Amino acid sequence: MTQIYFYSGSNDKLQTACRLCAKAVQQNMTVLIYALDTTVLEQLDQLLWSFAPTSFIPHCDIRADSELVSATPVILGNRIPPGRRFDVLLNLHQQQPPGFDQFSRLIEIADTSPEGKQAARARYRFYKDADHPIQHFNLDD
């Protein structure tokens, strides 16, 4: 069953996503970052290039050459690429992603906006009602 990691109280979802991706890559995990909004994916792409001044998080868009997608630890996309296994699915969409139960870990980030909180609460309830184990981390502290 998919383990859900819920991070609430993020002042900047994309910065939080970068930190969590960096941590996953340091642990030799592969990550699929899911969002339907191409603007979000483009902003995240730029941020991943410059996130840490002394390092860079290797990543590519799902539309890249299939050889590059299979060799890169972090993939940005709006779908799950066929034939590729990931350790982590990081959701940046307002709803639960399709096929999330194919992953051992799902990361959800809730921002501090009223809309973001409301959408995150709905996703949290969905996972809880489906009896997925949830670990919650409050970023407000």
How much is the pLDDT for 59? 93
Rg (alpha carbons) of the chain, rounded to whole number: 14
Output the pLDDT for position 66: 78
pTM to 2 decimals? 0.94
- Strand, coil or helix: 75: strand
The pLDDT value given to residue 73: 95
pLDDT value for 21: 95
Give dist(CA 73, CA 62) in Å, integer.
12
Question: b/e map of 102-140 (b: 16 or more CB within 10 Å)?
Answer: ebebbbbbbbeeeebeebbeebbeebeeeebeeeeeebe
- Give me the residues of the chain with pLDDT under 70, please: 141
Q: Which domains does the chain have, with CATH numbers?
A: 3-106+115-138 (3.40.50.10110)
pLDDT digits (tens, 9 = 90+) for 8-22: 999 999 999 999 999
Q: Which residues contact 39 (CB under 8 A, 6 or more apart)?
A: none
Helix crossing, 38-50 with 13-26: angle to 10°? 60
